[in-house]
Structure 1
Amino acid sequence: MNQPIKQSGRHDDIMTYFSETEKAIQASHVLAADIDRAAELCISSLRNGGKIIFCGNGGSAADAQHLAAELMGRFLIDRNPLPALSLTVDTSALTAIGNDYGFEKVFSRQLRGLAQKNDVVFGLSTSGNSANVVEAFETARSLGLATIGLTGRGGGKMEPLSDVLIAVPHDKTNHIQEVHIAVGHLICAFIEAELCQTKP
């Protein structure tokens, strides 16, 4: 016989947390034009033979891999793979570059070896100040590549290096990251809709 679940006393904390996440998402409505511009940059890149290159640290590394997988695999519909990769996945490259050149070089050096004309570099950093993402953006600029920054409020050092900056108007890392994945999913949906002629 199933026993009733006992209340843990956490119900109010759960509701408070969800309420703060909802506020972060609602506040991000002001980013609609920036999200649209980011989607257009990605669509143009893919149409012209480019690829989307993601990078980030920690939870943002996981989100970078997540979004690259949505494009290479499938998101909402079955379709051909869309070229995308995350610079966070090759542990041998990351540790070799980090050991030999410093951790701030782990993305920029990979970009110099992998990036090609029409690629877009998509960097995720809640502070906007992650040294390796900032250096990746500087390298992208030197290579003539477009950059999309997904950050928290203000954009930090990534702000002047971003062709499109999507700066979530919030200050807590966890809630910023929750909006980041929603924004990333939305951009993936727009890419699919445009390139595969379906509705997101």
Structure 2
Amino acid sequence: MTEQRMHQHFVDSADLIYQSAPLLSRALDDAVQTLTACITGGGKVLTWGDGAAAALAGYLAARLVSRFERERPGLAALQLGGNVVMRAALADSEDPGQVCARPLHALGQPGDVLVLLGASAVGAVGQAAMTAAHERDMSVVAITGAVSAELAWQLRETDVHVAVPSDRAARVIEVQLLVLHGLLDGLDAQLLGDDEESQT
């Protein structure tokens, strides 16, 4: 019984990935263009992950600063909320919604991009982060699960929403990792040119 259950995880994940490909490709391309414009314009990428997606936000920032599959100069990126002391200080003295918004006000500049990740709905912290990013004339790339209706009224024309078509957090996170790999590969292709070897 356990073996069959484990097998089903692979089947469910593969099904969602297959279903997501045609639905997310356009939004993912838009996100690549947004990040490329930011980087080539001298801006930086600030990442925020809500809940379990915080690990993905840290992973994206790390891959931008270091490398993905090819050598390249480091790109300006920083995970917001990754500093435990700062996060604790802000949570202790501020409205919880300001845990990400306050660092955004301090660090964000016009032309920067906020990559906002959430495995399901983006809560008060994520909504406050989007508001802060817009106040700093930043674009937002929101990568969420299907339950994200609260984002619709906040999105601007310069923003991109990559909505994984599932409300099951574990499956969403699996697809979000693939989305991040697509973003990183697309950005490298824009900055360095196509590299067929990295596709094999």
Picking from 41, 50, 54, the partner of 1:57 is: 50
* Contact 2:52–2:119 (CA under 8 A) maintained in structure 1: no
Q: Give every structure 1 segment of 4 or more consecutive aligned residues whose post-TM-superposition deviation is greater than 6 Å.
A: none
2:126 equivalent in structure 1: 133
CA distance in 1, matches of 2:123, 2:95: 13
Per-residue Cα deviation, 1:124-182 (whole angstroms, up to 9, x for no partner): 11223321111000111111110111111152322332311111001100000110111
Q: What secondary structure sits across from 1:103 in the alignment? A: coil
Q: What secondary structure sits across from 2:78 in the alignment? A: strand
CA distance in 2, matches of 1:25, 1:75: 21
2:154 equivalent in structure 1: 161
* Contact 1:149–1:159 (CA under 8 A) maintained in structure 2: no
1:13 equivalent in structure 2: 5
Q: What secondary structure sits across from 1:14 in the alignment? A: helix
CA distance in 1, matches of 2:186, 2:176: 15
1:39 matches 2:32: yes
* Contact 2:65–2:77 (CA under 8 A) maintained in structure 1: yes
Structure whose CA Rg is larger: 1
* Contact 1:65–1:88 (CA under 8 A) maintained in structure 2: no
CA distance in 2, matches of 1:39, 1:160: 23
Structure 1 residue 97: deviation in Å? 0.9
Picking from 87, 91, 94, the partner of 2:84 is: 91
Q: What secondary structure sits across from 2:142 in the alignment? A: strand
1:171 equivalent in structure 2: 167
TM-score, normalised via structure 2 length: 0.91
1:194 matches 2:190: yes
* Contact 2:50–2:122 (CA under 8 A) maintained in structure 1: no
1:148 equivalent in structure 2: 141
CA distance in 1, matches of 2:189, 2:51: 30
Q: 1:148 corresponds to which letter in structure 2?
A: V
**1:61-76 aligned within 5 A:** 61-76=54-69
CA distance in 1, matches of 2:102, 2:149: 22
Q: Any stretches of 5+ residues in structure 1 without a counterpart? A: 1-8
* Contact 1:127–1:156 (CA under 8 A) maintained in structure 2: no
* Contact 2:51–2:118 (CA under 8 A) maintained in structure 1: no
Supply the RMSD in Å over aligned alpha carbons.
1.3
1:181 equivalent in structure 2: 177
Q: What secondary structure sits across from 2:153 in the alignment? A: helix
